[in-house]
């Protein structure tokens, strides 16, 4: 808390807004949009690498959150106040930092992917800056941020090193999908067990089961796409790519916003929402534009 009190002493309205802007790039919406852009339009293989990194680390972070159950800084010290604008996005337990995990799982692989040195440096600055912003805003302690960043860096590095096995070899498709599926179900079962015995509040169980639903959707969607669909990201023009991306993102947002309205906000409903959302990204939408492309080719 000492470091957070130090940062609290240098807060200004300008820095508050700047750090809130920086922290926004670690939010779930940004990560999903970037993965969708790569997956549908640019480089499907790299999108899979991002997906494996993001969902694997997310499951680990969520499991640690409900295991350690460390409160937010303003609960640890009632005299401490976080920046007001950051409170809405500060859900769940404090340790480890989910925003830092998301940012590291996106920008660290990007730093390895992009060829230019200046771009690599910007990517590193991005996830370091987002981690710092979480402390400046008062949402996380240094331990929350550093552990999350270290865990994400380890997972991202391992997946990068063994990407040929994960992404190129058809030999282990079923085994890899099964491992991620079992891990997702285990995390969900763990959260539900803690919830039913009274250890975990509903909101904390929801966050964990959302990650499990997304991981489950990714494992099944990845296997189906690799074995049955195997779509091509290529389109005839940049304009068509942009249209394809916008339509896909609009429907993804529609699924996310309408699902709770129809099925409610129960733990299992939120888990199913994220499961379907990831299936939409990986399989359902690619299948639709593959069918559309086939029809257009037949007419021509």
Q: What is the pLDDT of residues 149-184, one digit of tens each?
A: 999 999 999 999 999 988 888 888 999 999 999 999
- How far apart CA 205 and CA 270 sit, in angstroms, is 10
pLDDT class for 264, splitting at 50, 70, 90?
confident
Task: Give 138: exposed, middle or buried? Use CB within 10 Å, 0-12, 13-18, 19+.
Answer: buried
Around Cβ 206, how many Cβ atoms within 10 Å? 22
Number of domains in the chain: 2
Q: Are 47 and 154 in contact (CB under 8 A)?
A: no
Q: Taking residues 263-268, what's their average pLDDT?
A: 88
The confidence score (pLDDT) of residue 55 equals 94
Taking the alpha carbons at both ends of the chain, their separation in whole angstroms is 66
Of 96, 141, 149, nearest in space to 2 by CA:
141
Both 206 and 116 in one domain: the answer is: no
Both 191 and 232 in one domain: the answer is: yes
Both 288 and 243 in one domain: the answer is: yes
The confidence score (pLDDT) of residue 297 equals 64
Both 10 and 120 in one domain: the answer is: yes
- How far apart CA 283 and CA 220 sit, in angstroms, is 9
Q: DSSP letter for 86, please.
A: G
Whether the per-residue pLDDT at 84 is higher than 60: the answer is yes
Domain boundary among 167, 197, 222: 167
- How far apart CA 47 and CA 218 sit, in angstroms, is 12
Both 297 and 148 in one domain: the answer is: no
Largest CA distance in the chain: 70
Q: DSSP letter for 70, please.
A: P
Domain boundary among 134, 167, 200: 167
Whether the per-residue pLDDT at 298 is higher than 80: the answer is no
Whether the per-residue pLDDT at 293 is higher than 80: the answer is no
- How far apart CA 43 and CA 232 sit, in angstroms, is 9
Both 226 and 138 in one domain: the answer is: no
Both 142 and 19 in one domain: the answer is: yes
Q: DSSP letter for 119, please.
A: H
Both 46 and 74 in one domain: the answer is: yes
- Is the pTM here over 0.85, yes or no? yes
Token digits of residue 69: 């159950």
pLDDT class for 300, splitting at 50, 70, 90?
low
Q: Taking residues 91-116, what's their average pLDDT?
A: 92
What are the two backbone dihedrals, phi and then psi, of residue 244, each rounded to the nearest 5 degrees?
Answer: -60, -45
pLDDT class for 243, splitting at 50, 70, 90?
confident
The confidence score (pLDDT) of residue 296 equals 60
Both 49 and 87 in one domain: the answer is: yes
Both 180 and 151 in one domain: the answer is: no
pLDDT class for 101, splitting at 50, 70, 90?
very high
Q: Taking residues 185-207, what's their average pLDDT?
A: 93
When computed from its CA atoms, the radius of gyration of the chain, rounded to whole angstroms, is 20
- Compare 236 and 178 and report the one with higher pLDDT: 178
- How far apart CA 108 and CA 125 sit, in angstroms, is 10
Whether the per-residue pLDDT at 295 is higher than 80: the answer is no
Domain that holds residue 245: 169-300
pLDDT class for 278, splitting at 50, 70, 90?
very high
Domain boundary among 123, 145, 167: 167
Both 101 and 178 in one domain: the answer is: no
Q: Are 92 and 83 in contact (CB under 8 A)?
A: no
Task: Give 224: exposed, middle or buried? Use CB within 10 Å, 0-12, 13-18, 19+.
Answer: middle
Whether the per-residue pLDDT at 96 is higher than 90: the answer is yes
- Helix, strand or coil for residue 51? helix
Whether the per-residue pLDDT at 119 is higher than 80: the answer is yes
Both 152 and 14 in one domain: the answer is: yes
């Amino acid at each position: 808390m000492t470091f957070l009190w130090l940062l609290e002493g240098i807060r200004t309205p300008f820095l508050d807004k700047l750090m809130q802007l920086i922290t926004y790039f670690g939010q779930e919406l940004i990560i999903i949009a970037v993965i969708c852009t790569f997956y549908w339009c640019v480089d499907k293989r790299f999108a899979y690498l991002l997906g494996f990194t993001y969902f694997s680390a997310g499951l680990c972070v969520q499991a640690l959150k409900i295991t350690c159950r460390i409160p937010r800084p303003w609960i640890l010290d009632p005299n401490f106040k976080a920046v007001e604008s950051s409170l809405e996005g500060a859900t769940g337990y404090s340790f480890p930092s989910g925003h830092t995990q998301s940012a590291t799982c996106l920008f660290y692989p990007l730093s390895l992917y992009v060829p230019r040195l200046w771009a690599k440096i910007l990517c590193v600055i991005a996830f370091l800056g987002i981690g710092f912003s979480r402390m400046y805003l008062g949402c996380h302690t240094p331990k929350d941020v550093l552990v999350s960043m270290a865990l994400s860096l380890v997972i991202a590095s391992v997946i990068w090193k063994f990407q040929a096995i994960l992404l190129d070899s058809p030999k282990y498709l079923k085994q890899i999908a099964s491992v991620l599926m079992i891990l997702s179900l285990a995390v969900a079962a763990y959260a539900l067990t803690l919830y039913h015995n009274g250890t975990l509040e509903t909101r904390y169980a929801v966050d964990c089961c959302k990650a499990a639903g997304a991981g489950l959707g990714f494992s099944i969607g990845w296997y189906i796409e690799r074995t049955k669909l195997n779509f091509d990201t290529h389109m005839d023009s940049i304009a068509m790519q942009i249209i394809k991306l916008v339509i896909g993102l609009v429907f993804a947002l529609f699924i996310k916003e309408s699902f709770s309205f129809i099925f409610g906000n129960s733990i299992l409903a939120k888990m199913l929402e994220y499961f379907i959302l990831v299936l939409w990204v990986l399989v359902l939408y690619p299948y639709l534009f593959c069918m559309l492309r086939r029809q257009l080719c037949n007419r021509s």
